[in-house]
Amino acid sequence: MNGGLTGMKKRKQSMKGKFKRKDWQFATLTSLLIATLVTFLCWAILKEPPGEDLTAEALAPLFVQSGVTSPVTAILLNFRGYDTLLEVMVLFLAGLGIWSQATVDPTNPLVFSSPATHPTKPNFHGPGPELILATLVRILIPLMVLVAGYLTWAGGFQAGGAFQGGALLGGAGILLILAEPQRISTIPPALIRFGIVLGPAIFLLVGVSCFGYGGNFLQYPQPGAGSWLLLIEFGAAISIGITLTTLFVGGRPDPKRLKGTDQP
Amino acid sequence: MILILFDFVLIITLPLLGWAVLATEDIFKAVVLFVSFGLLMSLAWVRLNAPDVALAEAAIGAGVTGALFLSALNKLERSVKHERRINRDEEKEAINEREI
């Protein structure tokens, strides 16, 4: 075992030495490849005549049918709803992966909960949040949640939408955890799980229930498609926000520590 | 006129910042450069008449991703000031060799 390891190590080192000697060849090859790619891209862009039949004006009648007036949201959630569903699922899976890979100490979520590597490492701010940060957070968080809700709702007729609102919500969550890391231990993990699942579940349920209205998957019933889209958007925004915060925390709250430290 | 000037500044600054993100050895510095790259990129999206993408870029590309990187850096215990990634890796390799 030991001999095998050493052999591997030696082979790795010799490969490393080789790589260093051939560094300039590697660099030349890479830059040649990139130059070729850029040339082809420029050629493709210059060759393609500007499309005239796909302007926003020509598509305006379609956007009216979609239930929302913002062309971006109409395409994202109605015409290309399947793509957006997959995007939401990708984020969901990322959150699921991180949630199942690692645990964090809920009383101190900014470090991993493995006691071997971090015996007594304090968080950024010592025992409690600093006064200025705590006050700022108290004022800022409700405002951020409000603006996130507005952005999500505004996606129907102007710039905004689920991803933007969700990102703002995630920013609010990250700020909250940075300011008061112990706060996460007061949130029941079941609620976090529910919040992560909510958006994808609503999206899927709406997509499937379209069969009931005689449509295809994600083919919303024609009058009132707007309210379906709004429902999907709010669910997705909440889930995106919570998932992004979970990604930042980097793991699920450790249940053992959660029981032991109800009162930090 | 002033907008065209602004565009030129963006066109020059973005590739330079991108290069700096890739070339810098200090990971903390790279994260900070990445965040500033994201902010400038969102300005570029605004100039391209894509406010939706600009909002997402500023919030996710610059804000949340930067915070994620910093949190990962903190958990990897590499956020010590003036610490270079390459030095750190070589140090670890030396330790590994001694152990073997």
| Mean pLDDT to the nearest integer, A60-69 | 75
Residues of chain B with pLDDT under 50: 78-79, 81-82
Give the pLDDT confidence of A212-234 residue by residue, as tens digits. 887 778 788 777 788 888 899 99
Q: Do A248 and B64 touch (CB under 8 A)?
A: yes
The pLDDT of residue A37 is: 95
Residues of B in contact with A250 (CB under 8 A): 71-72, 75
Instruction: Summarize the confidence of residues A119-139 as an average pLDDT.
Output: 64
Q: Which residues of B touch A170 (CB under 8 A)?
A: 59, 64
Q: What is the mean pLDDT of residues A39-67?
A: 77
ipTM: 0.71
> Which residue would you say has higher pLDDT here, B2 or A108?
B2
**Nearest residue in chain A measured CA to CA from B69:** A248
**pLDDT at residue A135, rounded to an integer:** 84
**Spans of all domains in chain A:** 2-47, 59-260
| Average pLDDT of span A133-152 | 90
Give the pLDDT confidence score for residue B11 in this predicted structure. 93
Interchain contact A84–B (C-beta under 8 A)? no
Higher pLDDT, A222 or A6: A222
pLDDT recorded at residue A2:
45
- The Cα A8–Cα B14 span in angstroms is 42
Mean pLDDT of A38-67: 77
Mark A92-124 as b/e (b = at least 16 C-beta within 10 Å).
beebbebbeebbbbbbbbbbbbeeeeeeeeebe
**What pLDDT, on the 0 to 100 scale, is given for residue A261?**
45
Structural domain count, chain B: 1
Higher pLDDT pick, A151 / A179: A151
Longest dimension (CA), chain B: 65
Q: How far is CA A131 from the centre of its chain?
A: 30
Name the residue with higher pLDDT: B93 or A3. B93
- What pLDDT is attached to residue A150? 93
Among B19, B52, B68, B93, most A C-beta atoms within 10 A, so best to mutate, is B52
Owning domain of residue B40 = 2-99
**Mean pLDDT, chain A, whole residue set:** 78
Structure token digits, residue A95: 């959150």
